[in-house]
Each structure stands twice: as structure tokens, then as C-alpha cells.
Amino acid sequence: MVVTVMTVCLRRLAHNRVELVLAFVVPIAFFSIFAVIFGSGVGTGLTPNIKVVGVDTVGDEQSRQILRVLRETPGLSFVDTAESDDQTEPEKGSTPRQKGSTPRPTPAPDETEKDLRAVEVQSASTSGNALTEQGDSRKADKQAGTSRRQAMELVRRGTATLAIVLRRQDDGMLMADLLSDSSDQVAPQVVSALVQQVLAGIPETSYRVPPRYAKTVSGPIGMPERGMSEPELPGTPSDAAGPPLPLKRVEIVDLLGKGKSNPVVTMYAAGIAVMFLLFGATSGGGTLLEERDNQMLDRLLTTGLSMDQLLIGKWAYLTILGICQTTLMFAWGQLVFGVDLLGHFDGFLIITVVTAGAAAAFGLLLATLCRTRGQLNGLSVVVVLSMSALGGSMVPRYLMSPGLREAGLWTFNAWALEGYDKVFWRELPVSELWPQMSVLMVCGAVFLVTARGLAIRWETD
């Protein structure tokens, strides 16, 4: 009897192609996807290049040398601020917001910053190819005005993962402030180690404490007020005039996580929400196939209902359901985990509406691609999980190689997550959401129109 039961199960499996695919092909497909993600990023010792922007507020030979060496360090990719000037230059009403959603007025550049010289901001290819000397100098000239504030803006907008700001403290200590986006939990540690390495290799002998600092260097060096501080690096005291300055210090400043009650949850809430929007939409789209199987679709189409109305009705329902689900999830996040939903509700609502709309259209598209519910189940598992993996719902995209990050942009998960990231993490105003909104709306429209085209075959035999 037991053998008969086993035989029947095996024969049923052999007759069901979808189950066969789910049983044997899907695990291999997923293994391959994750192998590509992790194989070219984390776990290989080959950390993906980190996009940084360098700001030299000191402007002496030592600081220039530090940035020069950093620029040639493998693993760092310097952002070309000349190309992102339009992004860094704050527009009226488009500055980052404080919690509470009121746009923060653009502060006038203060006089101190005007004096700061930002010399070393330069793009470098991932292979570390140096620009020509001429081009180098041209870029340096263009970027001479880059300030700490502009660097902060670049990090806040996600153009750069991290800003390396070299400054001299009142006590004469050379500080390397790493203005970081702590949503990337790897980059600050990696850059910190690289900067330390470079600082350790720069001789101290060339620098002496200016007389105005002489009084301040005698006391012990305290820990930074916030952020993480690296141990002091040994330096070689100089025997030249004035007391030598043996100390250089690296400090990681969390630019975006500061003040957020539970920043990590905010990041993951969006990832989970988008993945479940997709699963919910494909499941909802599957009702079309059920209705086709039990003649409900035939019956509905003999009434006054047209296929256009049917699809739009289902799309609207799935969209509203998705909005409610996501809102409920974030509301729960606010109640239990401290996600600041109410403080960002306008941006949340906008990005949730377009994401839910695109997900609903995608669910209908998958349903109209399939013939049976079984096919849809198999296809949706493969597609949704792949999109979620590539798009950053499962694995943060900063862990992926540049190639995979680009591939991820073909999934709308990535765009939706970027939208939520802008709203909750970077606290950018609603007007900054237009790229994500545009992509998601276009995706939704294309999916819906394609689904309608595929559904033509169901209209009449």
C-alpha cells in the first residue's frame, strides 16, 4: 500500500510540469540568482566600489596628498560633482526636510563655508584609472566650490554613499569626518579602514602646529560627541618650530540615521511591503484564471461588462487593497517599531499609490500570461522572488555589484524602494519623488496595457 501511495505521488508529479519545475528548476534558479548577488559582492572579499565625495577644508599639502592617495585607492569611486551639480545645488522648497514634514528653508551659505576650499572631488573609474593631468586640474577647478554642506547634500540624496571631509580642529588635529549614510552599514567601516590606512602612511613631519593652535593641543583629546571614533593613529612628532601634531583622527558621522527612532526597521518595512504587494497582486490576478476555468469569465462577458471594465475593476481593487495593506503595515510599524509614518505621510501615500498600482498591473500581467492557476503560482514565485532579490527587497542593493545594481533597476522593486528610501530615510520633499513616480507609473501603464492585449484571446474563441 505504501508503495502504491508513493507510486501514485510520483506519477502525479511526472504528469504535472509546473510542479516539476517548482520542485527542481526553481531551487536551482534561486540558487543561481543569490550566487550571482553574493558571488559578485559580499562574501568574496571584493567589496563593491563605494561612491564617495571628498572635501578638503584644510587645503594644505598634507590634506591634498591624503585625498590624492585616497583617489587612487581601489574600492573607492569618487563622485563627479560637476555632473551632479544640479542635484547638489539645493532648490527653493526642495531641501531635505526635518521630521514633521515641513520643508526646511535653504540655509544661506555661511561665511565660514565660503572660505572653505573643496579641492579634491574627482571621478575615478572603478579600475582606478587616473584622469589626465589636464582633465584632473579642470575638474578640480570646477569642483573647487564643493563644500561640506554640498557634500552632505550629495550623501543625503544618495548620489554618494559617503563624504570624506578633511578638516583641522581648533587644537590642530587633522580630522577626517566620514559623513555617512548609515543605511549602508558596510561602507562606513570599509572607508574608515581605508582612510586610516592612508592617514597612517602620510608623514607628519610636514605639518607643524600654527602658533594660534599651540595652546590647545596640550590637553587630552576627547571622544567625539556622536558617531564612532577610531583610535588615534600614531604619528611622528616633529622637531620643527612649534609643537608637533602627531594625531589624526577618523570620525564617522551618521548623517541620516540621526534622530530616527528605528532607522533599520524603516528600511526593511519598505522592502517587505513591496514584496508582499507583488505576491498579493499576483494572487489577486489569479482570480482571473479561476473565473476563466469555471466559466465565470465567459458569463461575465455575456453581460454588459467588457474586458476593459473587468481588468480596470480588478486593477483598481488590487491597487486599493495594496494601499490598505501597506498603510496598515507601516501603521503597525509606527505603533510598535517607531517608524515615523505620520511625519512622512504625504510622501508615503504618493509612493505607495504608484507602487500598489504598478504591482496590481504586474499581477494582472502575470495572470494573463498564464493558462492555469498552477502556471501562475509557479511563474509568480520565480518572478516575484527574483525581482525582490534583485530589486533590494531581500538583500540591500548596496551589497550588490554595480552590474547587479543596474540590473536591479529593471525591477520596479528597486524604484519603489528608492522612493520609500527618499521619503523615510533621506527625508526628501515630495517633489524629489518624480523619477520614482514616473518609472512606477509608466511600468503600471505598460503592464496594464500588455495584460489587456493578452486578454484579447479570452474575449471570444
Least gap, CB of 368 to another protein (angstroms):
18
Q: Most distant CA pair in the chain: distance in Å?
A: 97
Least gap, CB of 301 to another protein (angstroms):
7
What DSSP state is assigned to residue 103?
B
Closest CA to 412 of 437, 382, 391, 389: 391
Positions in 276-295 near another protein (CB under 8 A): 294-295
User: Rule CB under 8 A: is residue 308 a binding residue for another protein?
Assistant: no
Pairwise CA distance, residues 46 & 230, whole Å: 23
User: Rule CB under 8 A: is residue 72 a binding residue for another protein?
Assistant: no
Closest CA to 330 of 290, 276, 409: 276
Stretch that binds another protein, among 31-39, 123-131, 403-411, 453-461 (CB under 8 A): 453-461
Q: Which of 305, 336, 342, 445 binds another protein (CB under 8 A)?
A: 305
- 3 state DSSP class of 373: helix
Give the residue with the Cβ less far from another protein, 254 or 291.
Answer: 291
User: Rule CB under 8 A: is residue 459 a binding residue for another protein?
Assistant: yes
Least gap, CB of 299 to another protein (angstroms):
4
User: Rule CB under 8 A: is residue 129 a binding residue for another protein?
Assistant: no
Q: Which three cell numbers stand for residue 325?
A: 495593506
Least gap, CB of 295 to another protein (angstroms):
4
Give the residue with the Cβ less far from another protein, 4 or 303.
Answer: 303
Give the residue with the Cβ less far from another protein, 309 or 431.
Answer: 309
Stretch that binds another protein, among 85-93, 179-187, 302-310, 403-411 (CB under 8 A): 302-310
Radius of gyration of the chain (CA): 27
User: Rule CB under 8 A: is residue 170 a binding residue for another protein?
Assistant: no
| Binding footprint of another protein, residue count (CB under 8 A) | 14
- 3 state DSSP class of 4: helix
Q: Which of 240, 296, 316, 456 binds another protein (CB under 8 A)?
A: 296
Q: Which of 175, 233, 301, 381 binds another protein (CB under 8 A)?
A: 301
Pairwise CA distance, residues 7 & 195, whole Å: 64
Give the residue with the Cβ less far from another protein, 228 or 320.
Answer: 320
**Residues 260, 340 contacting (CB under 8 angstroms):** yes
Helix 434-454 to helix 307-332 angle (10° resolution) is 140
Q: Which of 219, 220, 222, 304 binds another protein (CB under 8 A)?
A: 304
Q: Which three cell numbers stand for residue 303?
A: 453581460
The HSE-up count of residue 454 (CA atoms within 13 Å, CB side) is 19
Residue entry with cell 560627541? 225
Least gap, CB of 11 to another protein (angstroms):
22
Pairwise CA distance, residues 222 & 353, whole Å: 49
User: Rule CB under 8 A: is residue 371 a binding residue for another protein?
Assistant: no
Pairwise CA distance, residues 157 & 79, whole Å: 13
Q: Which string of DSSP letters, residue by residue, matches 129-178?
A: PPPPHHHHHHHHHHTTB--HHHHHHHHHTTSSSEEEEEEE-TTS-EEEEE
Residues 237-276, one symbol each (x = binds another protein by CB under 8 A, - = not), give ----------------------------------------
Least gap, CB of 391 to another protein (angstroms):
33
Residues that bind another protein (CB under 8 A): 294-296, 298-305, 459-461
